[in-house]
Amino acid sequence: MLLDLLGVVYDGDTQIAGAASAIERLRRAGLPLRFVSNTTRAPRGAIIAQLAAMGIKVADEELLTPARAAVEWLRKHDRQPHLLVHPDLEVEFSGLEGGSGRAVIVGDAGEAFDHANLNRAFRELIAGADFVALAVNRTFKDTDGLLSLDTGAFVAALEFASGRSPVVLGKPSPDFFHSALTDLNCPAADAVMIGDDAESDVAGALGAGLGAALLVRTGKYRPGDETRFNPAPTALVDDVATATDWIISRAAA
């Protein structure tokens, strides 16, 4: 079982109704869980603490984020990062200053997505630095309840200007989903993804070979999202609680 966080389990600092009890039901049913989030504004410890404050206990190994994947990528390729990320996320990349080459790492930098920072990243890219995107989501549901530009818009600007295509580490990268499933020792065909993003969560999971992907009507979902991307969701459900009903009923069949 793979679950998105923002828009599925919580909005801002508020738990989505029934999320904690749904997660507990999945655990009681014996279904191993991984939380796969494209959130790149907060470090792992802050995400886990936020969930704990909502009554949802998540172990460190149960949370997979693009920042963790990026740290592993940088070490594997012996690169030091040029960061275009939210200031709160920079701590995740400490101790990686000694690589033999450079890589531009782009996440949801928020207000740091200004011309000066984007131009510095652009100049790194045209000088030969590797190009790594933590995610390429188009939008996210912001704290005011409205949609805001997400990382993908700024990644696209850098891609257009530099003529370079990024390595994408978060959803919808198949490697991201497969990494989560490897930790679960679960064949892709037996796995289910729950998300509010029809493109990155749902089509991404199905494109990676997962057996099912459920689109919830919470978070960033807007009517008609279920028809906008291929593959289409296995099912459209109201929220994570009804997704849990769907999963448990089929597991028991």
Ordered by start, the domain boundaries in the chain are 2-38+171-251, 78-168
> How far is the C-alpha of 81 from the C-alpha of 93, rounded, in Å?
8
CA distances 132 to 26, 120, 184, Å, are: 34, 15, 26
pLDDT tens digits along 204-217: 999 999 999 999 99
Please write down the HEC assignment for all residues of 73-128: HHHHHCEEEEEECCHHHHHHHCCCCCCCEEEEEECCCHHHCCHHHHHHHHHHHHCC
Assess whether the region 2-38+171-251 and the region 78-168 belong to the same CATH fold: yes
Strand 139-141 and strand 147-149: the pairing is antiparallel
Q: Is the domain 78-168 a CATH 3.40.50.720 member?
A: no
pLDDT tens digits along 55-107: 999 999 999 999 999 999 999 999 999 999 999 999 999 999 888 999 999 99
Cα dihedral 68, 180, 213, 238 sign: negative
Percent of the chain with pLDDT over 90: 93
Cis ω on the peptide bond leading into residue 231 (within 30° of 0)?
A: yes
Which among 54, 9, 17 is positioned nearest to 35, based on CA atoms?
9
The encoded tokens of residue 9 equal 């389990």
Averaged pLDDT score across all residues of the chain: 96
3-state helix vs strand vs coil in the chain, percent to 5: 45, 20, 40
Per the listing, tokens 């030091």 go with: 80
CB 47 within 8 A of CB 63: yes
Q: What is the pLDDT of residue 220?
A: 96
CB 225 within 8 A of CB 232: no
> How far is the C-alpha of 207 from the C-alpha of 107, rounded, in Å?
23
Superfamily of domain 2-38+171-251: HAD superfamily/HAD-like (3.40.50.1000)
Q: What is the pLDDT of residue 93?
A: 96
Q: What is the pLDDT of residue 64?
A: 96
The encoded tokens of residue 111 equal 């207000």
pTM: 0.93
